[in-house]
A and B are shown apart, each in its own frame.
Chain A
């Protein structure tokens, strides 16, 4: 270690010693949880600026929390989107479907039907309600926890499960990790496992739409942890420079695997306030309030559509379940957090709102939950006819070599022959099922 240039370390003895700050979450496993430090704004009290306002007018909204649904289960204030009961029931139905789907797929992974799954429990509104506020052909660039967008857009459940099972019905040919869907038909971009990569891509798509004089806008979703990636900051810069018609949704669910939001910078400021330095409009929103999510997403969509500029929205929510089937959150956070989360559960809050309006009741809810569970079960059975991951390799080996390029070059041809030969030897000429 002779050549380390660290000679003069004694210098400056009468100056204060510098100290490193390493963030620490308030609660760890076993701790009693008290969320009173989380400021919860009063529903209905946040102003709603004009959609075409100067980005600076949203400054206050970057630190506040836009809320509509109150403890009385009623909608309040200028952000009330005034949705009709049918739309609210549809939204509640999507919520129920997402939850039932997550439940079943999680179990499927535990039963060995697939390798991996990720739930979005507690965050349903941030994808379902947001998607419902967009036009069906607006392009979305989701991350891996936005199954709600596909469900809201009516994507076929069997197709979703085929993808998760990597079976012979999987239109992505078994290539992608489960839940990494893609559906051009539903204006849903192919998901990458590399965090935050979709944010500049969404901006690029929105810029292209503007270059072509199209009317479709783009929206993207990124976790609060992932906002630390350079890609996110590149996206913000391009979005503001070109006034791209894009919405950057940051899902602040408090946890990035075992790391709390402090490791993405939440101890100093909000994620919505990231918008300010870039000159983007910013909104900080109760992500468990389906009406607030819908209203703010619609505000940003209208703004983008009117060429008034891009918006960064922080949806403040809570990841109620583990990060994925590979994660056990009891190793790093208090089990009590989920019950104590002060913003409640988006499904219950919407349900109670509909009941308060006299447009819903517990019996209909029970009936809907039962029907939804049946529907998911039937879809699962249907998809299982195409095979499950645990049963081996459903795709012909040659598909592995297709689509690397538009045309198959000589090396891939040779390798495809090798793979086919290996399959014949390994399975005595037969195909494994």
Chain B
């Protein structure tokens, strides 16, 4: 936990609570609504009801209807309106109910929010944090399971942030809200309530029993662009984010592999130094993500590692990903990158 403590720029009185990720996100929003009257929380069902995943529970009651409110079911409207609010000087934190539903708002995000600073030479900016649960593993079918992060990393001017622990979720979200650029904050809903080993027949472990669930009281930030070293090791480097951090961790533990696991935490900006340093040390690199393989973020990581660490590599870079198919409802556990797929890739990497 030593790297985490250094991340804290300003902590409260040192008190901690055991929170799940939903509660940690709620806590971050609560703190930012309290600290900054320009922070606005909005989205489908986020007001009175507190969101379908309960991330905004109690906030409207506490801060009133003009700070925390429901919106029409119009993702294009939600994101477009947030651009206008940001241009005025507010810090909107819109929620898109599922990441699969960002697409109707894509033009506002890609052509407008992401470029406003650049095209106006900073006359106007769009400081906004689009929060959205993403990823599979809850039997959500094709339209409640996708991992579209690569799409956003391809857009210049957007930041993409993905926490894997309640601690990170809170500290990163606070950084995102204070950031002056538009950010996509993807919340891995499979681990909202607890980290996940990767075995479909094993239940998630509640965060309150997990060492990483300790969340400091009060305000603290985790800077964007800084990876977290989950475990130090010599045999290979594993690059992962979100739910896959926990799957990779449990596989390495079960196999007894001396892996150095990096939780990237932010894909844009990316902690290239941490990646380079680790791969040069281990000479082997495994990339794990749940999104489909072709043109996934793993392809970018693989290219970067090859460009920067080629002469240190003992084996070709390996990618473990979801398949290049839409998310299949009944076969989602076959789609999900699990222990077998990761295990085989590790064996292959170590045998070279």
Fill in one digit per residue for A381-425: 1 if any B CB lies within 8 Å of its CB, else 0.
000000001000111010111001000000110010011011101
Q: Please state if B329 and A115 are interface contacts (CB–CB under 8 Å).
A: yes
If A180-B141, A415-B293 touch, does A230 touch B330 (CB 8 Å cutoff)?
A: no
CB of B296 to closest CB in A, whole Å = 12
Cα-based distance from A256 to B48 in the complex (angstroms)? 13
Cα-based distance from A242 to B127 in the complex (angstroms)? 41
CB of A107 to closest CB in B, whole Å = 18
Q: Chain B interface secondary structure, helix, strand, loop or mixed?
A: loop
- Of B26-34, B233-241, B278-286, B333-341, the one contacting chain A is B333-341
Q: Please state if B69 and A419 are interface contacts (CB–CB under 8 Å).
A: no
Cα-based distance from A180 to B72 in the complex (angstroms)? 24
Q: Is B89 an interface residue (CB 8 A)?
A: yes
Q: Is B139 an interface residue (CB 8 A)?
A: yes
Q: Is A3 an interface residue (CB 8 A)?
A: yes
- Among A6, A228, A393, A411, the residue within 8 A (CB) of B330 is A393
Q: Please state if A194 and B44 are interface contacts (CB–CB under 8 Å).
A: no
Q: Please state if B89 and A4 are interface contacts (CB–CB under 8 Å).
A: yes
List residues 185-230 of chain A with CB under 8 A from any CB of chain B: 192-196, 225-226, 228-230
Q: Is B218 an interface residue (CB 8 A)?
A: no
Q: Please state if B73 and A229 are interface contacts (CB–CB under 8 Å).
A: yes
Cα-based distance from A1 to B38 in the complex (angstroms)? 12
Cα-based distance from A231 to B141 in the complex (angstroms)? 22
Q: Is B118 an interface residue (CB 8 A)?
A: no
Q: Is A155 an interface residue (CB 8 A)?
A: no
If A326-B52, A395-B330, A419-B334 touch, does A177 touch B72 (CB 8 Å cutoff)?
A: no
Can you name the residue of chain B whose Cβ is closest to the Cβ of A172?
B329
Q: Is A264 an interface residue (CB 8 A)?
A: yes
Q: Is B12 an interface residue (CB 8 A)?
A: no
Q: Please state if B52 and A194 are interface contacts (CB–CB under 8 Å).
A: no
Cα-based distance from A226 to B127 in the complex (angstroms)? 27
Q: Please state if A400 and B323 are interface contacts (CB–CB under 8 Å).
A: yes
Residues of B within 8 A of A170 (CB): 330
- Of B97-105, B266-274, B308-316, the one contacting chain A is B97-105
Residues of A within 8 A of B45 (CB): 257-259
Give the total number of A-B pairs whose CB atoms are below 8 A apart. 163
Residues of A within 8 A of B124 (CB): 5
Q: Please state if B125 and A4 are interface contacts (CB–CB under 8 Å).
A: yes
Q: Please state if A5 and B100 are interface contacts (CB–CB under 8 Å).
A: no
Q: Is A265 an interface residue (CB 8 A)?
A: yes
Cα-based distance from A258 to B51 in the complex (angstroms)? 9
Fill in one digit per residue for B287-298: 1 if any A CB lies within 8 Å of its CB, else 0.
000000110000
Q: Please state if A265 and B72 are interface contacts (CB–CB under 8 Å).
A: yes
CB of A323 to closest CB in B, whole Å = 9
Q: Is B144 an interface residue (CB 8 A)?
A: yes
- Among A176, A265, A326, the residue within 8 A (CB) of B142 is A176
- Among B104, B140, B294, the residue within 8 A (CB) of A229 is B104
- Among B48, B49, B73, B335, the residue within 8 A (CB) of A225 is B73
CB of B82 to closest CB in A, whole Å = 15
- Among A230, A258, A389, A412, the residue within 8 A (CB) of B74 is A230
CB of A231 to closest CB in B, whole Å = 7
CB of B255 to closest CB in A, whole Å = 14
- Of A20-28, A46-54, A353-361, A370-378, the one contacting chain B is A20-28
Q: Is A263 an interface residue (CB 8 A)?
A: yes
Residues of B within 8 A of A228 (CB): 72-74, 77
Residues of A within 8 A of B52 (CB): 257-258, 326-327
Q: How many chain B residues touch A (Cβ–Cβ < 8 Å)?
A: 53
CB of A392 to closest CB in B, whole Å = 9
Q: Is A278 an interface residue (CB 8 A)?
A: no
Cα-based distance from A259 to B76 in the complex (angstroms)? 18
Q: Please state if A264 and B73 are interface contacts (CB–CB under 8 Å).
A: yes
CB of B320 to closest CB in A, whole Å = 10
- Among A9, A177, A422, the residue within 8 A (CB) of B341 is A422
Fill in one digit per residue for A239-269: 1 if any B CB lies within 8 Å of its CB, else 0.
0000000000000000011110001110000
CB of A198 to closest CB in B, whole Å = 13
Cα-based distance from A259 to B48 in the complex (angstroms)? 9
List residues 301-336 of chain B with CB under 8 A from any CB of chain A: 323-326, 328-331, 333-335
Q: Is B122 an interface residue (CB 8 A)?
A: yes
Residues of A within 8 A of B47 (CB): 22, 259
CB of A11 to closest CB in B, whole Å = 13
Q: Please state if B293 and A400 are interface contacts (CB–CB under 8 Å).
A: no
Can you name the residue of chain B whose Cβ is closest to the Cβ of A226?
B73
23 residue pairs of the A-B complex, CB under 8 angstroms, read: A1-B178, A3-B125, A3-B180, A20-B66, A22-B66, A22-B69, A115-B139, A115-B329, A176-B142, A177-B144, A194-B101, A196-B73, A225-B72, A229-B76, A258-B48, A327-B52, A389-B139, A389-B330, A393-B333, A395-B330, A400-B331, A412-B323, A421-B340
- Sorted nearest first, the 9 A-B pairs with minimum C-beta distance are A177-B141, A193-B143, A6-B89, A174-B330, A228-B72, A166-B330, A258-B49, A115-B139, A228-B74
Residues of A within 8 A of B (CB): 1, 3-6, 9, 20, 22-24, 28, 115-116, 166, 170, 173-178, 180, 192-196, 225-226, 228-231, 256-259, 263-265, 326-327, 331-332, 389, 393-395, 397, 399-401, 404, 411-412, 415, 418-419, 421-423, 425-426
Contacts A175-B141, A404-B325 aside, 6 further interface pairs with beta carbons under 8 A come to: A3-B125, A5-B124, A22-B69, A397-B334, A411-B294, A422-B334
